[in-house]
Amino acid sequence: MANIKTKWDIIEAPFTQEMMKTTANLYRLGWDERNGGNISYLLKEEEVAPYLDVNAVIRAIPVQFDARALAGKYFIVTGSGKYFKNVADNPAENLGLIRVAQDGQNIELLWGLEGGGMPTSELPSHFMSHIARLEVDPENRIVMHNHATHLLAMTFSHPLDEKAFTRTLWQMCTECLVVFPEGVGIIPWIVPGTNEIGEATAAKMKDFRLVIWPHHGIYGAGRTMDETFGLIETAEKAAQVYTYVQAQGGIKQTITDRQLKDLADAFGVVPREGFLGE
């Protein structure tokens, strides 16, 4: 194809730049130490085709999950064992652009993961979450996992009850109810990298865009990179405030349920049913 650009031009593609900038920011914030965390970004063929020959498959990679529901879809993903701090300096080694094969048992590598790299070990969990979110919101494109520090810490000191955890976050920052009115989901502790944790996360993703992995981190989903990053960022800020408040002696006053309902009315959002008192 005459309009195909070189493989180096793909680094200038908007989706690659978003991955590079976001991974750098997550590392800067301390939410993705070492090779912790992963991102998958659902792309359209018309976004990919100007940068790649979509018929030129570098190699096929088996997936331990039946991904036929995503057959033919394109993703740019972070690599397994790759450090987020290195993505911006060497995106071709630390990122991969893949397509789900028609059999759903393999992915086709179209660019990146140079040196024999593999996609994130959490790819089945990402795929399951994408499938779940697309059923709820056909515009969903991002699934992001990281180890947001204060949210992670809260899972050791706060009851792991979705209603209680959500209400605490809503009460810590006025913006929280507006940003995630559906609240946060919480799964039990499960070994990461397994289909079991992916299935549990995906089940929650049908009702929530934020899912807490206790003593591990958080999964977030959204339509854009900014939306998803901002979603986690807002919850993490609330968790940080909660940490400070606890260190200062505990809650003495907070936003009331009545005030939270007034806030929801003012911004046209609907709080998750049953999470606020009468």
In the three-class reduction of DSSP (H, G, I as helix; E, B as strand; rest coil), residue 54 is classed as: coil
- Check: CB of residue 177 under 8 Å from CB of residue 234: no
Q: What is the dihedral of CA 158, 162, 167, 168, to 10 degrees?
A: 20
By C-alpha distance, which of 141, 85, 90, 89 is closest to 113? Answer: 90
- Residue 147 labelled as part of a binding site: yes
- Check: CB of residue 121 under 8 Å from CB of residue 206: no
Q: How far is it, in rounded angstroms, from Cα 126 to Cα 129?
A: 5
- Residue 126 labelled as part of a binding site: no
- Check: CB of residue 68 under 8 Å from CB of residue 125: no
By C-alpha distance, which of 31, 33, 41 is closest to 236? Answer: 31
Q: How far is it, in rounded angstroms, from Cα 254 to Cα 83?
A: 39
- Residue 150 labelled as part of a binding site: no
Token representation of residue 147: 């180890």
Residue 53's alpha-carbon distances to 5, 150, 165, 269, in angstroms, are 9, 43, 47, 44
Catalytic machinery residues: 122
Residue 201's alpha-carbon distances to 10, 131, 268, in angstroms, are 32, 11, 28
Binding-site positions for Zn(2+) read 145, 147, 216
Binding-site positions read 145, 147, 216
